[in-house]
Amino acid sequence: MAIFPNFFVNLLPQEQLFNHIFRSWTGRIFVIMLVTTPVKISFLERLAEGTPLVTDGSIAAELTARGFADFPPCIYNSKQSVLIEDIHRAFVDAGAELLQSNTEHANRLTLERYGFADKVYELNRTGVWIARYTALHKAYVAGVVGPIGKFLTPLGALNREDVRAAFVEQITALVDGGADVLMLKSFIDVEELEIAIDAAKFVAPDMPIIAQKTFPEDGAVLATSYPSDIAQNLVKKGVAVIGTNGTVGPQRMMDILKNFHAEGTPLCSQPDVGIPTLVDGKAIYNAEPRYVAQSIKRLVEAGAQIVGCEGGGTVEHTRAIAEAVQGAVVGSRKPEVKVTHHKEPEVANGATTSFFDNLGKKLLTTVELDVPRGLDLSSILEGAEYLKKNGLDAVNISDGARARLRMSSIAISQIVQTQVGIECLTHLACRDRNMIGLQSELLGAHAMGVKNILAVTGDPTQIGDFPYATSVYDVDSIGLIRALGQMNDGRDLMGNPIGGKTQFCIACACNPAAYDLDREIRRLEEKAAQGAHVAFSQPVFDEETLNRFMERAKHIKIHILLGVIPLRSARHADFLHHEVPGMYIPDWVRARIHEANASGGLEAATREGISLTVDFLRKAKSMIQGIYLMPPFKKYSMAVEILQQV
């Protein structure tokens, strides 16, 4: 027996063990091995018994408690395998019947951030091996797969095929390690969870899957049919168990469980032990084992068959849970389900804007106002009043252009619309707000009637007033457009209902003079696909540039407002061409301005700039749906004069 230790026996799947022994050992030894390593029933057979099945807790919490927090938890599968074995064994001794491999974040795309991308197979297979060796036929082993930790396109840069490939690679190693079941957990994005399910089905079509969606703590959402809709969709994907884990404590998990169910499909529920307090960057949980255990017993009685604890879940929590659920009957006290099925409420100011209603029906005109520093908005209000009297359809309000400190574009827009009565095209930059902040701003803007939103990525802080400030960029302009499109469909970026549909007119930017026009067209296609209604172009100065762009973009279903800047002087033209990123002024245009400036001074150059703009717009207006004027130095009268001649 010493030649063939139990360690090796336990690592091999049972059918592999049988074949190996049959070929290599005598019948006598084969009988001995069969007796000393009994085959437990399959995971699905155990599930069919219908009694509670307790998982282990948080390996991360146990590692931290023992002073090991220098690396992501999965790295310790290689660096401290004996330590991980000890933790698994402690959970088994505490009563855990389902061990989770220490591999939640062991995919290639996540490991790349820590320099361990070449360790995917090793960390995952070893993670399962350690758990199998520790289980010693007392417990089952779940090969755990978690989310990548970054957003899919268009919110982020992750390509779906790359994500699927990462999951396939990880799951292959988990299956090779001999996992009894695959557990896909902590997924907030349903689409990413579905990609992981498809990858699991591809690698191991017959292996049971536990699929877990993580929900936010939001009673308004959880009271609707949204959770049950997701549950039904997961069941349709062919998983063995559905569930939810993390982010909330056991009491809040009960609220989720009420509506997250599908008849005939076992449920898994793994709440955090509570909400942590951050002390010096470390999560401190105060929930006592007895409290957690009694709460989880109620989850079993509410219908959860597989139960355990996540964030903060220690060996002591697991021991208390295992003792508490002994003899508990799954679903013996199912809560009354009160799912709200009603039409989405009408938004109080749900009408679309005049600007949106007139897209494609008339040649729209808008002028960008020069947003001042500080609190004095008199110049903005005077400019808006002047432009309204002269028949402009809207005014543009920039958002911290060139990373300079300015008043909130949403606040200015609300003031202008209220006091002047002209609609605003409100620029919103992704630079200064994270994903939560951007969506919060959008909800607030819509409530105040600011509904024409121009999504921009935003200039980096390094070029502005506060170069050491943080540039956030959770999403770029395409991600923000998606947020607007989702809200118009009644959902946030994660697909959660927002209680109604917004009526945003979604605008974006485009650059007909872009150095890489192929990339510019691809991005405009994506912006339109995500819901953009209209594109405001960067300034264009000649018909050739516009024609080339319009020909390339003719297949894209989006309205184009042509951006133009009337040139004021030779110096102005040279500055824009040489020092402003993305700006291109043809040689012949700059030559005309220089000649006028040299012969007649500033006034002659300004007149020439107006003449060039008028001639260009007369030729261009049949190709576009509107004109977006950016007059220099608050010279709004230049914009009006140009439009009167066009």
Q: Tell me the CATH architecture of domain 40-325.
A: Alpha-Beta Barrel (3.20)
pLDDT for res 401: 77
How many Cα neighbours within 13 Å face the side chain of 339?
A: 12
The distance from CA 32 to its chain's CA centroid, rounded to whole angstroms, is 54
Query: Taking 80 as the threshold, does the pLDDT of residue 13 lie above it?
Result: no
> Rounded to whole angstroms, how far apart are CA atoms 503 and 444?
13
CA distances from 228 to 175, 233, 257, 338, 646 (A): 30, 9, 9, 11, 57
Which one has a higher pLDDT value, 159 or 462? Answer: 159
Tell me if 40-325 shares its fold with 354-566+622-637: yes
% of the chain at pLDDT higher than 90? 70
Amino acid type, 592: R
Q: Is the peptide bond preceding residue 276 cis, with omega within 30 degrees of 0?
A: no
The token pair that represents 134 in the structure block:
């520790």
The distance from CA 630 to its chain's CA centroid, rounded to whole angstroms, is 34
Amino acid type, 85: E
Strands 181-187 and 98-100, by their bridges, are unpaired
pLDDT for res 226: 75
Amino acid type, 373: R
pLDDT tens-place string over residues 235-253: 999 999 999 998 888 888 8
Mean pLDDT of 255-281: 83
Rg (CA), the chain: 31
DSSP summary character for residue 141: E
CA distances from 552 to 19, 168, 531, 548 (A): 64, 38, 20, 6
Mean pLDDT of 134-150: 93
CA distance between the termini of the chain: 96
DSSP per-residue letters across 148-200: -SSPBTTTSSB-HHHHHHHHHHHHHHHHHTT-SEEEEEEE--HHHHHHHHHHH
pLDDT bin (cut points 50, 70, 90) of residue 494 is confident
Which one has a higher pLDDT value, 75 or 217? Answer: 75
Which one has a higher pLDDT value, 34 or 350? Answer: 350
Which one has a higher pLDDT value, 92 or 344? Answer: 92
pLDDT tens-place string over residues 188-220: 889 999 999 999 999 999 999 999 999 876 545
**475 contact partners, CB below 8 Å, separation of at least 6:** 151, 154, 155, 156, 430, 435, 438, 482, 483
pLDDT for res 9: 41
Compute φ and ψ for 600, nearest 5 degrees.
Answer: -130, 5
Domain layout of the chain by residue ranges: 1-39, 40-325, 354-566+622-637
pLDDT bin (cut points 50, 70, 90) of residue 355 is very high
Strands 140-145 and 181-187, by their bridges, are parallel
What class is the 354-566+622-637 domain?
Answer: alpha beta
Greatest CA separation found in the chain? 110
> Rounded to whole angstroms, how far apart are CA atoms 46 and 71?
35
Torsional sign, CA 530, 440, 213, 312: positive
Mean pLDDT of 618-622: 94
pLDDT for res 339: 55
pLDDT for res 347: 55
Which one has a higher pLDDT value, 626 or 26? Answer: 626
Query: Taking 90 as the threshold, does the pLDDT of residue 528 lie above it?
Result: yes
Mean pLDDT of 380-386: 95
pLDDT for res 280: 65
The token pair that represents 46 in the structure block:
């155990």
**483 contact partners, CB below 8 Å, separation of at least 6:** 435, 438, 439, 442, 475, 492, 493
The token pair that represents 571 in the structure block:
């110096």
pLDDT for res 623: 94
Query: Contact at 8 Å (CB) between 461 and 471?
Result: yes
pLDDT for res 337: 61
Q: Which segment of 454-463, 572-581, 625-634 scores lowest on mean pLDDT?
A: 454-463
Q: Which segment of 84-93, 97-106, 226-235, 534-543 scores lowest on mean pLDDT?
A: 226-235
pLDDT for res 581: 80
Query: Taking 80 as the threshold, does the pLDDT of residue 281 lie above it?
Result: no
Average pLDDT of every residue of the chain: 88
Helix ranges restricted to H, 288-434 = 289-301, 315-325, 354-357, 378-389, 409-419
DSSP per-residue letters across 218-271: -HHHHTBSHHHHHHHHHHHTT-SEEEEESSS-HHHHHHHHHH---TTS-EEEE-
**Beta-bridge mates of residue 429:** 456
pLDDT for res 34: 35
pLDDT bin (cut points 50, 70, 90) of residue 21 is very low
Strands 452-456 and 98-100, by their bridges, are unpaired
pLDDT tens-place string over residues 427-479: 999 999 998 999 999 999 999 999 999 999 988 877 677 888 888 888 899 99
Query: Taking 50 as the threshold, does the pLDDT of residue 31 lie above it?
Result: no
